[in-house]
């Protein structure tokens, strides 16, 4: 498994990370906890050494499952845990909240759920626009100095927000959305992170399964699934994206003898992301992992991919439906 350093934090991990949003169940049609734990073990067996999670995934459940799996398997020292802070919930209403007292409470809750003494990478999930970002940086830097976290990351932040943060505290990583269908970070975040030496933990490497090759026009998503509110999975847009997947599948097979899923993950890595976060909730979903190793995309293939994307998806959709409300509520 390819390895990468996380900025100048001194931490190193595999270039494929396990994403645990679906493992939490909420917004993914429920979870099978036995399968979730087996998936965490399978990831480690495959050589994955970064697990990305968050309190909001399953409203605490994903963190608990990660903590239980790692503790029962005596595997804590084999992986880095990257979790997040800055999103709270009231019932199922999610809101941004990075006030210092909230972050302190969240940290203690995450340490308890994860059954660990220290979090390796602690990331601000979404910037709280009502809390000055330098105040958030001060809070996380205090956690780092106390030894409760090893490195600091942000997610869904602009270069300007990262500049403001880094004026106060060191940042090891940024976690933006990035996959073949969601390429906005190529304009700003990716060049910024590359220039400044920050690790990029790319989320949604499979575009929530759209790039897995498994979905078809007949696939239906439950009312409680995030894909139900993702406009890519509806109507004309869905047909466009599926048509692109078919052409990408043919290209992957003809040029590299791999699946479209392997092509999608390889592309994220070869575009310059440090880590591709791959969401899985059943162990066999990780079986294709070997197909991402030992080859790289060449310029011809990249051009052919771009051609397919432009032809089928002239006006790609950004994942803005994922964004929580900007104004904190309740106060
Ligand atoms: N920072 C943020 O704001 C943010 C936002 C989103 C995600 N993330 C992180 O990034 C991770 C990855 O993103 P994601 O989970 O949203 O989506 P993803 O990785 O793009 O897609 C995950 C889904 O793809 C399908 N899949 C995976 N392997 C497959 C296989 N071998 N064959 C067929 N289908 C397969 C599964 O869907 P089914 O199980 O339904 O088949 C899986 O749940 C998350 O888990 C989370 O850790 C962070």
**Per-residue model confidence (pLDDT) at position 177:** 98
Catalytic annotation present for 57: yes
Spatial CB neighbours of 191, under 8 Å, sequence gap ≥ 6: none
Q: Which residues lie with the beta carbon below 6 Å from any ligand 1 atom?
A: 19-22, 52, 125, 155-156, 175, 203-209, 212, 214, 261, 277-281, 285, 288, 322
pLDDT tens per residue, range 58-94:
999 999 999 999 999 999 999 999 999 999 999 889 9
pLDDT tens per residue, range 240-278:
999 999 999 999 999 999 999 999 999 999 999 999 999
Q: Is the pLDDT of residue 329 over 80?
A: no
**Per-residue model confidence (pLDDT) at position 328:** 72
**Per-residue model confidence (pLDDT) at position 92:** 83
324 alpha carbon – ligand 1 mean position (Å)? 18
pLDDT tens per residue, range 284-317:
999 999 999 999 999 999 999 999 999 999 999 9
Q: What percent of the chain has pLDDT over 90?
A: 94
285 alpha carbon – ligand 1 mean position (Å)? 10
Q: Is the pLDDT of residue 330 over 60?
A: no
Residue whose Cα lies nearest atom 47 of ligand 1: it is: 19
Count of residues making up the chain: 331
Mean pLDDT of 192-215: 97
Q: Is the pLDDT of residue 105 over 70?
A: yes
């Amino acid at each position: 498994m390819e390895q990468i350093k996380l900025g100048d934090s001194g931490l190193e991990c595999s270039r494929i990370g396990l994403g645990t949003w679906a493992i939490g169940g909420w917004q993914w049609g429920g979870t099978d906890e036995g399968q979730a734990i087996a998936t965490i073990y399978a990831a480690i067996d495959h050589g994955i050494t970064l697990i990305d999670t968050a309190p909001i995934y399953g409203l605490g459940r994903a963190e608990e499952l990660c903590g239980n799996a790692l503790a029962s398997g005596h595997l804590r020292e084999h992986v880095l845990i990257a979790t997040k802070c800055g999103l709270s919930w009231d019932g199922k209403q999610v809101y941004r909240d990075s006030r210092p007292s909230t972050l302190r409470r969240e940290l203690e809750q995450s340490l308890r759920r994860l059954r660990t003494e220290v979090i390796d990478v602690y990331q601000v999930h979404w910037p709280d626009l009502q809390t000055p970002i330098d105040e958030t940086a001060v809070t996380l830097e205090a956690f780092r100095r106390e030894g409760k976290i090893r490195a600091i990351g942000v997610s869904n932040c602009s270069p300007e927000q990262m500049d403001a943060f880094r004026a106060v505290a060191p940042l090891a990583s940024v976690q933006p959305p990035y996959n073949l269908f969601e390429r906005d970070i190529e304009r700003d975040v990716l060049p910024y992170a590359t220039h400044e030496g920050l690790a990029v933990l790319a989320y949604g490497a499979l575009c929530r399964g759209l790039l897995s090759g498994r979905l078809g026009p007949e696939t239906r998503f439950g009312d409680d699934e995030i894909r139900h509110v993702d406009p890519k999975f509806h109507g004309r847009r869905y047909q466009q994206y599926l048509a692109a997947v078919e052409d990408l599948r043919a290209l992957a097979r003809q040029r590299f003898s791999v699946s479209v899923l392997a092509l999608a993950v390889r592309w994220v890595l070869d575009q310059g992301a440090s880590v591709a976060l791959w969401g899985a909730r059943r162990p066999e979903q990780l079986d294709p992992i070997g197909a991402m190793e030992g080859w790289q995309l060449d310029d011809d293939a990249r051009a052919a991919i771009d051609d397919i994307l432009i032809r089928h998806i002239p006006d790609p959709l950004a994942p803005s439906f994922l964004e929580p409300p900007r104004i904190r509520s309740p106060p």
